[in-house]
Amino acid sequence: MRDQLEGILRELYEVRDRIKNADELETFRVKFLGRKGILREFAQSFKDATEEEKRTIGNHFNKVKQEVEDTLADLTEKFKKRERVRFDFTYPGKTPLVGYRHLMSLELERVKDIFASLGFSSYGGYEIVTEYENFDSLNIPKNHPARDMWDTLWIDQKEKGEDQTETEKTKYLFRTHTSAYQVKLLKEQGVPLRAIIPGKVFRHEATDRTHDFEFHQIEGLVIDEGANIAELKYVLESFYRAYFGKDLKIRLRPGYFPFVEPGLEVDLGCIFCKGKGCLTCKKTGFIEVAGAGMVHPSVLQESGIDPDSHYGYAFGLGLGRAVMLKYGISDIRLLHSADFRFIEQFR
């Protein structure tokens, strides 16, 4: 009988380690402690034993029974603990409070980053500038038809006193191009200079799907050794390739802007049709994206830089146009949208 008890104990140890869940534990309980369980059956079997046997075996039996009960209690505790947290992962969950950057500020940062990788520093400048900064300093004199190339939004100026005549007064305007900062920046930073001037510009122009009276421009200005048309082409090509993530081509055409000589028009190989011609590029395979050229000697002179020993290039590109092309936005006025449903689409 002693051997029998040892056998029960062995079985207990064997079975105990194989129990994996509450159901198996119940089978275990029934097997050992049930009404027809192993222990009950053993107790029945030594009912007829001698007093001597009953004393020694009984003692032993109680220890085994205790061991079984302890094991059961331990395992019950264990499986109670392992009961899992309930959660439906198809619930939407609680949205944390997050903000979104506006499309234009995101794209502006991208542009700054791309140009930084080409060694360009970025500068801000003012939106309100003098007539001199916007025109005269850039070789666009008063009463010259070249001024008609920019429809200017003027400031309604406060009178400065009776004695001043019309011509003496400094006239202010909302900059028509970021080029208005060229001379001032060259004076402030000196040469060599490799800079972009991103910012808002303003025109006295009626608005439609492709024109807004207020839009973002990126000015580029480089006065440095080797800063020639070939490098200008490289820089613009690299910029557009990085910005659109496509292998694009730049085409230069003759152009005219009074503050550059030679003046250039910059076309970008159509990002939609790869030059085959589509609706966006009006079947030409190219899209006009920027004006550019070699900085006019008179602009350098105006900036206090000797044009005989320094030269460089400048360009002005419309950010809005690039953004519209990139995302397929067909109305430029949407770029000022304040609708959350517009803003939250971009990242």
Partner 1 sequence: MIFRTEDIKNYITAKSINWDKTVEQLNAKLFETTYNNNMLEVDVLPNRYSDLSSLVGFSRELHAVCGCGFKEPKIKLKESRKLLENFMSVSVKTPLCKQYFGRMVFGVKNKQSPKWLAEFVRAYGFNSVNLIVDLSNFVMIEYGAPLHVFDADTIPGKKIIVREAESDESFRSLSDKNILVSKGAVVIADETEVLALAGIQGGWKSQTTLKTKNIFIEAAVFDPTSIYRTSRAVKLQTDSSYRFERKVVRENAIFALDRLTALIQEHAGGEIARGKVEHGKEQLKKLVTVLFEKVRSYSGINISAQEIENLILKTGSTIIKKTKIALTVVPPAFRLDLAIPEDFIEEVVRLYGLSHITSVFSSKGMIAREDEMFALQDIVRSLLVQSGCFEFVGYSFIADTEEKILQKTIQDLYGKDTEAIYALNPMSQLHSVYRSLLFPTLVKNLKENAVLAKDLRVCEIGNIGVYKGNNIIEASHAAYAISMPRVQDALLEGKGLARLLFERLGISVHIKNSDIAGFEIAAKMYGEENQDFGYIGLLEKELSSSYDIDQRVVVAEFDLNEILKVFTFDVVFQAIPEFPAIVRDVSYVVQETMPVNYIEQELRHGGTELLERVELVDVYQGGEIEKDKKSITFRLVFRAKDRSLKDTEINSILQGINKELISRYNVVLR
Query: CB under 8 Å to 172, separation ≥6 — which residues?
Result: 128, 129, 130, 131, 154, 155, 157
Is residue 201 near Zn ion by the rule CB under 5 A? Answer: no
330 binds, among Zn ion, partner 1, none (CB under 5 to 8 A by kind): none
- Interface with partner 1 in residues 211-250 (CB under 8 A): 213-214, 224-231, 233-235, 237-238, 250
* Total number of residues that touch Zn ion (CB under 5 A): 6
Is residue 108 near Zn ion by the rule CB under 5 A? Answer: no
If the CB atoms of residues 5 and 267 are measured against partner 1, the closer one turns out to be: 267
**CA-CA distance, 129 to 174, in Å (whole number)?**
6
- Interface with Zn ion in residues 267-326 (CB under 5 A): 270, 272-273, 278, 280-281
**CA-CA distance, 251 to 233, in Å (whole number)?**
8
The single-letter code of the amino acid at 64 is V
**CA-CA distance, 314 to 194, in Å (whole number)?**
10
217 is catalytic: yes
314 is catalytic: yes
Burial of 213 (0-12, 13-18, 19+ CB in 10 A): middle
| Nearest distance in Å: CB 277, partner 1 | 14
- Interface with Zn ion in residues 217-276 (CB under 5 A): 270, 272-273
If the CB atoms of residues 29 and 274 are measured against Zn ion, the closer one turns out to be: 274
Q: Of 23, 41, 70, 109, which lies in the binding site for partner 1, with binding defined by CB under 8 A?
A: 109
295 is catalytic: no
260 is catalytic: yes
Is residue 252 near partner 1 by the rule CB under 8 A? Answer: yes
**Of the listed pieces 25-33, 52-60, 135-143, 272-280, which binds partner 1 according to CB under 8 A?**
135-143
* Cis before 262 (ω within 30): yes
Radius of gyration of the chain (CA): 42
**Of the listed pieces 4-12, 15-23, 57-65, 255-263, which binds partner 1 according to CB under 8 A?**
255-263
Q: Of 15, 67, 205, 244, which lies in the binding site for partner 1, with binding defined by CB under 8 A?
A: 205
**Of the listed pieces 8-16, 38-46, 56-64, 254-262, which binds partner 1 according to CB under 8 A?**
254-262
**CA-CA distance, 292 to 282, in Å (whole number)?**
22
CA 252 from centroid of its chain's CA atoms: 31
Give which of 225, 148, 172 is closest to 194, Cα–Cα.
Answer: 225
The single-letter code of the amino acid at 297 is P
- SS3 sequence, 285-298? CEEEEEEEEEECHH
Q: Of 121, 280, 326, 329, which lies in the binding site for partner 1, with binding defined by CB under 8 A?
A: 121
Is residue 112 near partner 1 by the rule CB under 8 A? Answer: yes
- The vertex-57 CA angle with 56 and 63, nearest 5°, equals 100
Q: Of 83, 93, 94, 143, which lies in the binding site for partner 1, with binding defined by CB under 8 A?
A: 143
Which residues form the catalytic set? 150, 177, 203, 217, 260, 314
